[in-house]
Amino acid sequence: MSHAGKTKDELLAELGELRLKISDLEKEQMEWKRSKEKLIESEQNFRAISENANDGILIAAGEGLHVFANERAAEITGYPVSELLETTIKDLAHPDDFDEIMKRYRNIVEGMPFSRQYETRMIRKDGKALPVEVASARTAWQGQPADIVILRDITERKQAEAALRESEARLRTAIESLPFDFFFIDQTGRYVMQNSTCRENWGNLLGKRPEDLEVDEETLALWTNNNSRAFGGEVVEGEVSFKAGEEKRYYHNIISPIHEGGKIQGILGVNIDISQRKKAENAIRASQEELEQQVEQRTADLLQANRKLHREIQERSRAEQALRQSEEHFRSIFEKSQDAICLIDDEGYFHMVNEAMCDLTGVSRQELINKHYSAFMDKETYDLMEQYWQQRKRDEPAPSRYEFTLFRPDGDIRIVENVPTVVRFSDKSPLTLAILRDVTRRRQMEDALDSMRSKLLNLQESERRTISRVLHDTIGQNISILDFNLTTIAEMVDETSLEKIKGLIENMRSVIRETGDKLRDISSGLHPRIVQELGLMAGINNLIDRLRRATGLEVETSVVLDESQIEESVASNLYRIVQEAFTNIVKHSKCSAVSFEMDLADSRLAMVIKDNGQGFDMEDVNRREIERRGMGIFIMTERVKAMGGKLHIVSKPNRGTQLQVEVPLTMA
């Protein structure tokens, strides 16, 4: 600009305007610098949250290129972060799911409606397919629309669902093996399920109605009335009979309504053949009825336990919700996280908390801010956390994940998993960023499963004890009476008649004595009274003697034991494990030598049973379907778990088998 011809006042005025513009430019430059510093700080916070999150975080932009990834995303995908930032959606998506994922991605970046949460599959770097739960949100990256997703590895949840299906398969197998009719009639009055026993007795009932069966009118009328009462909500129990050819058969019939959603969906029925019981003596009939009622109760208990476990797994699955990500990276992840997140300053006071932290502690946000974190734990836990905090500040190794007990002001106690890390700001002292997850229900479920396992084993022992007592006290007594009566008859007849029937009587007495011997063996197998009356070692020595008689083998034994330290329930379980192991040796081992060792030291009992037989492949056994595995190893494992111990089986083809049991003991 030319200044020629301008007056001094005009030049001074222009100079003043220039100075004002320079001042404005300097202010804008300072404002830009402060904005840049805040942006850097926000970016640091975002990265601190994302790198310590339990879930993987990815941002895709453009044609689906990943422009951001945290370490957890790298762990899930198997790619290092540097390689992950060179991949696209197509590289990670399962080929069968790619088109649907890209359609959803296009909707996100183009501003169209989209589903925020879904399940899909991704392909890891090693080529393995991995089930994941995905939460998406629209965001921006360097001025262009982008998709930010949170990945959660749901492999464990899928495995839990598979375990549930396996448990249901076990239940179906148990129902199929029941020695009595088991069936289900739906709302239409048709049979829709029956077990193998029912199929053997009645043929294929599926799709049929009771009136389609070949029974007399009186029996059909009784069945129809019972079914109608059950559909009305009543549990019906009683005896039914009908003629099968010239023979009249009797059944104990139980029909129960099945409720779902407040409505009766069908009726569950059990038919127990009691024809022989009806013909037996009154004492035997009473014993048989008691046994059938116990079997019925055990079946109902198993069904109830399975339904309870199914409900608990469903509740846990519904409780595990994905994090919801909004457009603001740091604050959205912090506030919307289902995990409790908090920032704790150098003095141990809460600096920032999210809503989940308030729910976990039962304290409002206003009360938590500036509250010391030691208020929620005992002194021992606080001292340990202070030690970890000092180690992290000095960049020394410290646990990155651990659990502790959190005490709420309302008296509730929670088990919490903690993932702490140090966050450093340019103008502040280091802070602790803690991500907390409530694992109380998971611990309760594990404890409940252990308790259920122990109860089922105790019920089994109780049932065996009852059956053994009935066989020994009732049927055994009747056999003795029959033997005595035959002897009396032989003494009452004259010599001429005695000569004619003597051989027959002696033969009958021989059969009765043999039956008594078999009955005592069965009774002993069902319930080892010798353990209860004479102790564990007396019972085990009896098993060793029986093994010697069955195989002709000499069993080498080494026992260092004080039986006074062993509780009755532990002794019973140990006896059962030895009994099962010896049974397997007789059936499968084809061995020439067996050794038995038992030692008790430092309140821990160790037991080892070895043979030099043909052995087997443990991996091959584990790969088999449940129906082909057999129940021996499973039952021994459950018994050891019920005692809080450990079971280890070492076996290889042609190298024998070694069974090791270790059990902690309390003073009996």
CATH code of the domain containing 501: 1.10.287
Where does a domain end: 120, 153, 186?
Answer: 153
Domain of 126: which CATH number?
A: 3.30.450.20
> Does one domain contain both 285 and 410?
no
Interacting residues of 350 by C-beta distance below 8 A, sequence separation 6+? 342, 343, 344, 368, 369, 370, 371, 372, 373
Is 320's pLDDT higher than 60? no
pLDDT tens digits, one per residue of 508-550: 666 666 665 555 555 555 556 667 677 888 888 888 998 898 8
Residue 561 lies in a domain: yes
E strand map for 425-516: 431-438
Structure confidence at residue 612 as a pLDDT band (50, 70, 90): very high
Band (pLDDT 50/70/90 cuts) for residue 65 is very high
Q: Calculate mean pLDDT across residues 55-67.
A: 90
Is there a single domain that holds both residue 115 and residue 249?
no
- Same domain, yes or no: 255 and 142: no
Q: Higher pLDDT residue, 192 or 458?
A: 192
The answer to whether residues 164 and 309 belong to one domain is: yes
**pLDDT higher at 323 or 229:** 229
In a domain, 470, yes or no: yes
- Let me know if residue 253 belongs to a domain: yes
In this structure, are 78 and 115 located in the same domain? yes
95 occurs within a structural domain: yes
Asked whether residue 15 is domain-assigned, the answer is: no
Same domain, 364 and 451: no
Same domain flag for 628 and 591: yes
Give the structural domain span for 302.
160-318
Q: How many domains are contained in the chain?
A: 5
Instruction: Judge whether residue 208 has pLDDT over 50.
Output: yes
In eight-state DSSP terms, residue 554 is P
- Choose between 335 and 460: higher pLDDT: 335
My answer on whether 544 and 607 are in the same domain is yes
The reply to whether 406 and 450 lie within a common domain is: no
Per cent of the chain over pLDDT 70 is 76
**Domain annotation covers residue 47:** no
Q: What tokens appear for 455 in the block?
A: 């109860």
CB 377 within 8 A of CB 405: yes
Q: Which of 153, 173, 188 is the last residue of a domain?
A: 153
When mean pLDDT is compared across 173-187, 195-209, 284-298, 561-575, the lowest value belongs to: 284-298
- 23 vs 12: CA distance, rounded Å: 17
> Among 407, 438, 469, which residue terminates a domain?
438
As a whole number, mean pLDDT of residues 87-116 equals 90
In three-state form (DSSP H/G/I as H, E/B as E, the rest C), the secondary structure along 280-327 is CCHHHHHHHHHHHHHHHHHHHHHHHHHHHHHHHHHHHHHHCCCCCCCC
Provide mean pLDDT across the span 81-93: 91
> By the 8 A CB rule, do 78 and 126 touch?
yes
Do 296 and 190 share a structural domain?
yes
Is residue 658 domain-shared with residue 597, that is, in the same domain?
Answer: yes
At 319, is the pLDDT very low, low, confident or very high (cuts 50, 70, 90)?
very low
Provide the 8-state DSSP code for 379. H
pLDDT number for residue 598: 92
Of 52 and 408, the structure prediction assigns the larger pLDDT to 408
CATH number, position 612: 3.30.565.10
Mean pLDDT estimate for the chain? 79
Would residue 324 count as lying in a domain? no
Q: What is the pLDDT of residue 134?
A: 92
Q: What's the mean pLDDT in 429-448?
A: 82
Does 399 share its domain with 449? no
- Quick one: pLDDT at residue 21? 74
Domain-located, residue 10:
no
